[in-house]
Structure 1
Amino acid sequence: MLITKKVYGKTYKGEDVYIFNLSNDNGMTVKILNYGGIINSIKVPDRNGKIEDVVLGYDNLDNYIKDKFHFGAIIGRHANRIENAVFEINGIVYNLTKNDGKNHIHGGLIGFDKVVWESKIIEKNEEQSLELYYTSVDGEEGYPGNLEVKVTYTLMDNNALKINYHAVSDKDTVVNLTNHSYFNLSGHQSGNILEHQILINADKFTVNDKNSIPTGEMRDVKDTPMDFTQMKTIGAKIYSKYKQIEFAHGYDNNWVLRKSDMNLEEAAEVFETKSGRVMEVYTTKPGVQFYTGNYIEKNEGKEHTIYDKYSGLCLETQYFPNSLKHKNFPSPILKAGEVYNHTTVYKFLVR
């Protein structure tokens, strides 16, 4: 596995941004920016060996800086929504930035997706990885504690991209990191993902209110359009009158994964029949947000491609949204001095 680096641009503050190219011997390449830790492209072969870029994104830094869809980025400190942008730890109330109506989403106005990360290429056991580092200072977007964050990307010989998240804080805080790539296994420029098939290893999902805030209820997927315990076509019930789908104009919920500990286990699998491409998603996290790009509208991306509704799907591995408000949800609280350590793997193959 080889990693190369070149200049990609400068931020409005004059900070240097680099693009790193990770490649293996199978023809798979992954490009990552140190701005937002953004996965700019993932190129993988189909069943006939034809290589396509299977993630949505942009051709230049300026568009990533202006981007409001979080294409490919690291999300933090807390992925997804926090109700009323407020939480309490140890009897202290913390008010966060309100950037989703009265609520907080994806780390605030300047989350981890909107900062330049320090970078380093490391080699271990003849395997190269890209390490990105960022210090989120006490009070940033309202969060307590100085948080030292490290995100490591490793492209494996089996066409798996491994992302490891590591963080330590000097105060009790909350941490819930994820990646927000939008995948289209036909190729980023090929239209919508409604004919893709998906399996999610979950028997329950967290129910949302009309503002996409989990209520605390974990509902069985059985006999609902949220049942992906067996491989099903995404578009089959995306227009159904089921309230959870109507609220979000598509799929945008957290699924409660069928796991009880922090082992790395399969969360989901996506299959695109025409190309034969398969993506398997593994995680140590308890949940995954399945989102179908419901709010993208006529947005120009790479190669002048116009991305629209349902142009890509996200599988954001995570602690559950709004989990600070519900004691029955796994807790995202990180105690001072303790280590946050989670891994997600996106593995690509053909069928």
Structure 2
Amino acid sequence: MARSADAAPPDLSGLLELARDRRLDIKPVLLRVQSDLFCAAPARDPATVRAFESLACGLIPTVDADTAAIVAEKLAPLADTPQSVLALLAAHGGRARDAVVRLSPALSTGVLDAAGNGPGLDAVIAQRDDLGRALVDDLTRRDDPEIDLALAGNPHIRLDGPALERLVARARERRDLAARLVAREDAPAVDLAPLYLDADPERRAAIRAGIAARAALRPLARPAARGAGAALTALAQSRDTARFGEALCEALGLGPVEWDVADPARHDLLALGLRAAGLTDEEAIYVFLRLDPEIGRSVEAVFRLARLFRETEAATARDLLAAILGSTPAERVATPDQHRPAHGPASPKLRPQAAPLRPALPERTRRTQAST
């Protein structure tokens, strides 16, 4: 027959008697059973909490690390779990300590001391879901690989601004960190532009869109180097990838770049470089067909690169290249023979007279200023 809701809890005196038998070690079982009952209790009055605290504090130091970890993952998230119990679990170290530090709603000094309070806990603290912006910013300043990975993989915190910039800068040299950052849907796509080559196709498209929106607000792009198309197609014909790369860098005004056209993950870099260099559609497709045999033999690869070339503005390609390669964009100014609308954003007549944008003042502030 089912036990009523207000019936007394099960009598565990038999388990307690067995626990005293030195021939048997049922302490881990007893601790787990008691922890499950404590977690499942619909309400925990002070007497229940004290009874559980007394039993748990006697058993926790005697159990193995795996049992302590299992119990810690169950008890740490509960606000009713006594701090003394959490401190003993944290003192076990390993997974039990990490569960307490990561999941406990409140961490007392005693619990932190038991966990070995210090820089060694920072990577675990970085996994908490209640981190404020100031703490996230502070943790990114540590330049610790484990902390960086924990923050990048923490879905409960917001990563943006200087904190995200630091992580992105370090992710240039760390593929594991880059993979976690580009997987974050909450991170502004434009801020992830330096990690473009580590992103999947959907994320790459979002990054290009963000760069395009920002590039549209700047002056017109500088004209492409004259004769670049003819020189690059000739080098593509000879399949001299080393000289081709040097010529493309010269056309773009860049220092040495590892184009590595044989790597499919870097094919976009080639298309962006050709677009930024001002090649025509026909010239770019010729390069795709001739420069690298693996690209040229793949109809799908040629079509994809040609589509990327056509859909990307030259200014967007230049800015995106600069972000990926970590270089400063070349000066983008309009030349005298380029058309500039009379009322466009680049018009020299209107730009000096444009009033600076200012945020709207609250109504109370406007009334105060008017009265003075």
TM-score by length of 2: 0.25
Larger-Rg structure = 2
Answer 1 or 2: higher relative contact order, Cα 8 Å, separation at least 6.
1
- TM-score by length of structure 1 reads 0.26
